[in-house]
Amino acid sequence: MFSPVLTMMMERHRIPVVDEANIDAFAEAHDFTALFFPGGWLRLAESNDVAVILPELVQAFQGVFKPAVVSRESERKLQNRYRFNAFPALVFLRNGEYLGAIKRVLDWEDYLTEIAGILTREPSAPRPFELPEACATHDRHDHDHFH
């Protein structure tokens, strides 16, 4: 079950739901895709924030990427596939191949900067799961970034 806010945004902006069975066909049909993993909206207030922000981001990027919402039933399996460790999340793909993920909620300017960077990356395998940021050191990953 999606939140009333997300359901309304999906209807208003015709954002489809994808699941494990049809995600590849959907992603391969579009140059760029943004998959929204809302997580459990009853305990994650940020989920509704991203639900409202997502159509605005699509507009800001002039429809470059096609959004879709991941079904609750497929969320965990697809989370394992794309290896992100927090909800809500946006996972960006190019022709079905992984580009990057944005977790939780960012400020508007940070979204614009992050997404612009992600869309210019070459597709790659998702990173291995990482410890929560407080536990991990950041310097060992600096060489992985493409700017």
What are 87-129's pLDDT values in tens digits?
Answer: 999 999 999 999 999 999 999 999 999 999 999 999 999 987 6
Strand stretches in the chain, DSSP E: 17-18, 32-37, 65-70, 89-94, 97-103
pLDDT at 147: 36
Q: Decide: 36 and 69 in contact? Cβ < 8 Å.
A: yes
DSSP character for 61?
A: T
- State what percent of residues in the chain have pLDDT above 90: 81
Q: What CA–CA distances, in Å, run from 69 to 20, 65, 66? A: 12, 13, 10
Query: What tens-digit pLDDT sequence spans the chain (147 residues)?
Result: 899 999 999 999 999 999 999 999 999 999 999 999 999 988 898 999 999 999 999 999 999 999 999 999 999 999 999 999 999 999 999 999 999 999 999 999 999 999 999 999 999 999 876 655 554 444 444 444 333
- Give me the pLDDT at residue 133, please: 53
The full set of domains in the chain, from first to last, is 4-144 (3.40.30.10)
Mean pLDDT, the chain, rounded, equals 89
Q: Which strand (E) or helix (H) includes residue 116? A: helix 108-119
